[in-house]
Amino acid sequence: MRKSTLILLILALQILVSCTGSKKYFKAAEKLEKQGLVNEAASFYMESLERKPNNTKARIKLKEVGQKYINNLSSKFFREYNSGEFDQSIETFDKLKAFTSKGASFNVELNYPQAYNTDYENALDKYLNRHYDNAYKYLNNSNYDAALREINKIKKYQPEYKRTQEFEITAICEPLYVSMIKDMENKNYKNADEKIDRIITKKSDYKDVIDIKELLTGLLNIKLMVIKPKISDEKEIEDNLMNEFTKESTTFSKNFSLINNSPFITKADIDKLSNTGNIDLLQGIKKATGVSFYFIYDISNVQVNEPKSRPIQQTAFQQVTEKRNEVLVTECLKIPYSEFKISKSYSYDFKYKLLNAENNQLVLTNTESCVGRDMVEYYEFSGGTNIINSMNKIFPYDPCTTPQINQYNPNQWRKKFSEKRELQSVTTLKKEADAKSISSFRKVLQNYVIK
pLDDT digits (tens, 9 = 90+) for 398-416: 999 999 999 999 999 999 9
How is domain 130-220 classified at the CATH fold level?
Answer: 1.25.40
Give burial (CB, 10 Å; 0-12/13-18/19+) of 312.
exposed
In this structure, what are the phi and psi dihedrals at residue 328, rounded to the nearest 5 degrees? -80, 125
| Three-state secondary structure call for residue 253 | coil
Mean pLDDT across 368-378 = 93
Model confidence at 162, pLDDT cuts 50, 70, 90, reads very high
Q: Which of 5-14, 55-64, 138-147, 242-251 has the lowest mean pLDDT?
A: 5-14
Residue 388 has pLDDT above 60, yes or no: no
**8 Å CB contact between 338 and 379:** yes
Residue 84 has pLDDT above 90, yes or no: yes
Model confidence at 19, pLDDT cuts 50, 70, 90, reads very low
Output 436 or 219, whichever has higher pLDDT.
436
| Three-state secondary structure call for residue 306 | coil
Give the span between the Cα atoms of 348 and 431, in whole angstroms.
Answer: 12
Handedness of CA 389, 392, 398, 400 (dihedral sign): negative
Give the span between the Cα atoms of 271 and 372, in whole angstroms.
Answer: 29
Give the span between the Cα atoms of 27 and 207, in whole angstroms.
Answer: 62
pLDDT digits (tens, 9 = 90+) for 407-448: 999 999 999 988 888 888 999 999 999 999 999 999 998 898
Q: Which of 42-46, 246-250, 261-265 has the lowest mean pLDDT?
A: 261-265
Model confidence at 196, pLDDT cuts 50, 70, 90, reads very high
Give the span between the Cα atoms of 206 and 183, in whole angstroms.
Answer: 18
Output 8 or 70, whichever has higher pLDDT.
70
Residue 272 has pLDDT above 70, yes or no: no
Looking at this protein, which amino acid is placed at residue 443? K
Q: Which of 45-59, 61-75, 309-323, 383-397 has the lowest mean pLDDT?
A: 383-397
pLDDT for 131 equals 96
Q: Which residues contact 389 (CB under 8 A, 6 or more apart)?
A: none
pLDDT for 20 equals 55
Domain ranges of the chain: 3-113, 130-220, 222-300, 305-425
Which 8-state DSSP code applies to residue 424?
P
% of the chain surpassing 90 pLDDT: 56
Which 8-state DSSP code applies to residue 21?
S
What DSSP assignment string belongs to 339-350?
A: EEEEEEEEEEEE
Model confidence at 229, pLDDT cuts 50, 70, 90, reads confident
Residue 15 has pLDDT above 90, yes or no: no
